[in-house]
Structure 1
Amino acid sequence: MTDDLVVMLTALNQEYKAVRERLTGTEVLKHSRGTRFEVGTIRGTSCRVALGLTGKGTQPAAVLAERAIQHFSPVALVFVGLAGALWDTPLGDVVVATHVYAYHGATSEDDGLKARPRVWETAHGVSQVAQHVARTGHWARDVPPGTEVHFGAIAAGEVVHNSRSSAERRWIREHFNDALAVEMEAAGVAQAGHLNGAPIAIVRGISDPADGSKTTEADRKWQPTAAANAAAFAVRLAVELIKEQELIAMDDNTTSDDRGTVRNVTTGPVGIQAHTVTGSTVHQNITRRGDGPTDFGTELAALRADVTREHSSGRLDDATYQAARSELDIADEALGATTREGKQKFVLALKRLGGLLGDLAGPAAKIAALIVAAKGLS
């Protein structure tokens, strides 16, 4: 798993742009089959997003969701975009799926069409984080006042709905009457997540009432607003999901079992190995070159050169190389901050860099030494 990256996918360019506006330092990453992703950092954070465009429909969304999961191994995949309202969900509000219905499953019999739906629930942890984001309200700082988040079912199929009385609308009301919104991609994305064991979140902005009153003029107003509102919530959700993963990783790095045995995990050189150490105190130090204070700027420049060299030699693949460069950029930026938060950001970037380069002994040792030195700063 890439502990600091969330994949975000959209069906439409308007939705894509709404997410991209919240990213900085984006770089294009091309999949071997031609799919293009833009990998950037959420403004004001060290959290990364891989952004991709699927086009309309459940099938392309499913294929590209699986492709993204396999390529990036993200903390989570968030599908962001527009949806039509059901049950008068207000325009501009955000709907986050608690579960997704694939409403087109059915069997046709002499006495009518009988529903055979499939449903995927949002992972409990993702749902809990999303509820927290909605409660705190920080996500809503740049959206219109009064914009709300609703949690409930989303119905997904291959039909664009714009009627209150059509057979398709009656079908949804009869068989899926708890759905708050209707759209065309979530079922494919949810199944891709299920098959790959990846947490999925569906975040939709309500752009129209899907009741026959949809107009071009109304779309010009509400589609950009709904896309921006959904993007604002999705980006904040991504930040919180990455923070959650970092906390889990920190807990996993030092854990104890029921017998009190402590297990330490490191990506740097190991000074001592033993099956069990009891009743003893072990001191482990990493030696730095020279006795003076560490020049972090010089060390980061040396690491950047190492990363470039390892990539040129073929020992570092393109995706890892780009991810390592991004972490070095974050560390460089954090180095200029004098606050405690800046120091923490610097150390976290180094830790993530160490995870990326753990198989390369030389760079890994340098990173471990830098982390020790950085932690020793007042």
Structure 2
Amino acid sequence: MSNGPVVVLTALNLEYQAVRQRLADPQVHRHERGTRFEVGTVQGTSCRVALGLTSKGNHSAAVIAERAIQEFSPVAVLFVGVAGALWDTVRLGDVVMATHVYAYHGGTSEDDGLKARPRVWEAPHGISQLASHLARLNDWAEPAPGHADAPQVRFGAIAAGEVVQNSRISAEAKWIRQHYNDALAVEMEAAGVAQAGHLNGAPVAIVRGISDRADGTKNSADDRNWQPRAAANAAAFATRLAVELVGEEEEATLRRDDRARSADGFDRGVSNTAHNSTVGIMAGSVTGSSVHMNTVPKSSPTDLIAELNGFREQLGQHRAEGSLDEDTYREALTDLGSALRAAGGNTPESSKRTVMTLRRLRGLVIDCPALVAALASLIAAAGDPA
């Protein structure tokens, strides 16, 4: 099964603490460039979460998101926090999950005005479907004292810009209404995280609790009261989503492994008669009644890296022959790059990351038996005999 965590990122300490309170035994994980994450499990589950703080803004969020993706090879990246509502139909405390993200500051300035040049990233279909299912179950929110109405999950566009939006009449507010009037909420990090996920082949979900209405009331006493509740609601839905994502990934990994074992020839057949038994098994040699299994010793990091680079050439050959389509080839190269980076380490954790990534890669190229067989040897060389 995959050992990859779900990465959860936030921009503010308030949002970070809302997620951290839902983790059991978080442990500091320091990136080689100094970025600190905390890795723990969602309370009462085995779902691992790597939690990180990006600071405000799309640029910072993009850099930290890419760093987290490279470091953890996650099942998914969730960006969690608060946002301002753009319409009165979205209540304070509700959770907005992005169906797509607009980078609304893109444009070109011409003599007759500013023309929009939008960029947009859609949420992965599988995550959107799962989130909609959890929203229908409606059992994720904890009751808030003194508030009879439970928060709801709303699905729609989120607009991500480079300024704090706190007006209904400013030029920026009019720009959003004119060009992005289907957006339910506005914030400052989703576009950066979505771009990082897109470039690295990692699924991204944006989960925002509504803390204000982006109408001039930000930083008011009411806003300060709503911020922690909105952050807590977003954290509650996001961690529930993370648990379900890990569960689905584990099921998918088991299915891929079953198919891979079958393709590798690891199936065992036993036929019994009254006087003898015949056992079909992959073995190195048989002496009398003794079966000597082939084993692949764990390679040194240098040897494994050389073997992984050799596998890159095999991928290129299969693409040239047409047995790998272009999209699968690019995704395979991404996974191979992650495996190479992990293989450069010399720790149990790096070895586990190498094996995990190679097993995911094996599932990706399952329709190419030669590649599957080569990956079986690489996985064993990385330290996993299975």
TM-score, normalised with respect to structure 1? 0.71
Runs of 4+ in 1 over 6 A off after TM superposition: 276-281, 321-324
Rounded Cα–Cα distance in structure 2 between residues aligned with 1:41 and 1:14: 19
Contact 2:156/2:183 (8 A) holds in 1: yes
Which range moves more in the overlay, 44-53 or 209-218? 209-218
Alignment deviations for residues 217-256 of structure 1 (CA, whole Å, 9 cap, x no partner) = 1122100000000000000000010011011112112239
Rounded Cα–Cα distance in structure 1 between residues aligned with 2:346 and 2:181: 54
Rounded Cα–Cα distance in structure 1 between residues aligned with 2:195 and 2:45: 30
Alignment deviations for residues 93-117 of structure 1 (CA, whole Å, 9 cap, x no partner) = 0000000000000000000000001
Partner of 2:126: 125
Partner amino acid for 2:127? Answer: V
Rounded Cα–Cα distance in structure 2 between residues aligned with 1:178 and 1:279: 64
Partner of 1:65: 65
Rounded Cα–Cα distance in structure 1 between residues aligned with 2:380 and 2:97: 37
Distance 1:11 1:264, change over 3 A: same
Partner amino acid for 1:150? Answer: R
1:98 and 2:102 are equivalent in the alignment: no
Partner of 2:46: 46
1:316 and 2:317 are equivalent in the alignment: no
Partner of 2:87: 87
- How many residue pairs match? The answer is 293
Distance 1:54 1:320, change over 3 A: farther
Rounded Cα–Cα distance in structure 1 between residues aligned with 2:221 and 2:381: 56
Q: Structure 1, unaligned stretches of length 5 or more? A: 257-261, 266-271, 286-313, 325-356, 369-378
Mapping of 1:208-247 within 5 angstroms?
208-247=212-251
Partner of 2:319: none
Contact 1:29/1:319 (8 A) holds in 2: no
Rounded Cα–Cα distance in structure 1 between residues aligned with 2:164 and 2:380: 48
Distance 1:240 1:162, change over 3 A: same
Contact 2:2/2:253 (8 A) holds in 1: no
Partner of 2:159: 155
Partner amino acid for 1:152? Answer: G
Rounded Cα–Cα distance in structure 1 between residues aligned with 2:280 and 2:153: 51
Distance 1:358 1:37, change over 3 A: farther
Tell me how far 1:204 sits from its aligned partner: 0.2
Question: Secondary structure of the residue that 2:55 maps to in structure 1?
Answer: coil
Tell me how far 1:199 sits from its aligned partner: 0.2
Alignment deviations for residues 305-334 of structure 1 (CA, whole Å, 9 cap, x no partner) = xxxxxxxxx84255568999xxxxxxxxxx
Question: Secondary structure of the residue that 1:158 maps to in structure 2?
Answer: coil
| CA RMSD across the alignment | 3.1
Alignment deviations for residues 25-60 of structure 1 (CA, whole Å, 9 cap, x no partner) = 111000000000000010000000000000000000
Rounded Cα–Cα distance in structure 1 between residues aligned with 2:279 and 2:108: 68
Question: Secondary structure of the residue that 1:83 maps to in structure 2?
Answer: strand
1:30 and 2:30 are equivalent in the alignment: yes
Question: Secondary structure of the residue that 1:164 maps to in structure 2?
Answer: coil
Partner amino acid for 1:33? Answer: R
Question: Secondary structure of the residue that 1:140 maps to in structure 2?
Answer: coil
Rounded Cα–Cα distance in structure 1 between residues aligned with 2:140 and 2:11: 22
Question: Secondary structure of the residue that 2:140 maps to in structure 1?
Answer: helix
Contact 2:22/2:42 (8 A) holds in 1: yes
Partner of 1:199: 203
Partner amino acid for 1:139? Answer: W
Question: Secondary structure of the residue that 2:142 maps to in structure 1?
Answer: helix
TM-score, normalised with respect to structure 2? 0.70
Mapping of 1:149-188 within 5 angstroms?
149-188=153-192
Tell me how far 1:87 sits from its aligned partner: 1.2
Rounded Cα–Cα distance in structure 2 between residues aligned with 1:191 and 1:229: 25
Partner amino acid for 1:49? Answer: V
Tell me how far 1:142 sits from its aligned partner: 4.8
Rounded Cα–Cα distance in structure 2 between residues aligned with 1:238 and 1:215: 31
Tell me how far 1:146 sits from its aligned partner: 2.1
Rounded Cα–Cα distance in structure 2 between residues aligned with 1:219 and 1:282: 71
Partner of 1:116: 117
Rounded Cα–Cα distance in structure 2 between residues aligned with 1:322 and 1:108: 47
Rounded Cα–Cα distance in structure 2 between residues aligned with 1:322 and 1:39: 15
Rounded Cα–Cα distance in structure 1 between residues aligned with 2:38 and 2:124: 26
Partner amino acid for 1:122? Answer: A
Rounded Cα–Cα distance in structure 1 between residues aligned with 2:229 and 2:6: 23
Question: Secondary structure of the residue that 1:107 maps to in structure 2?
Answer: strand
Rounded Cα–Cα distance in structure 2 between residues aligned with 1:205 and 1:152: 13
Rounded Cα–Cα distance in structure 1 between residues aligned with 2:95 and 2:247: 22
Rounded Cα–Cα distance in structure 2 between residues aligned with 1:20 and 1:201: 18
Contact 1:4/1:47 (8 A) holds in 2: no
Distance 1:109 1:8, change over 3 A: same
Rounded Cα–Cα distance in structure 1 between residues aligned with 2:353 and 2:160: 35
Distance 1:11 1:87, change over 3 A: same
Distance 1:316 1:283, change over 3 A: farther
Contact 2:97/2:206 (8 A) holds in 1: yes
Distance 1:106 1:360, change over 3 A: closer
Partner amino acid for 2:5? Answer: L
Identity of aligned residues (%): 63
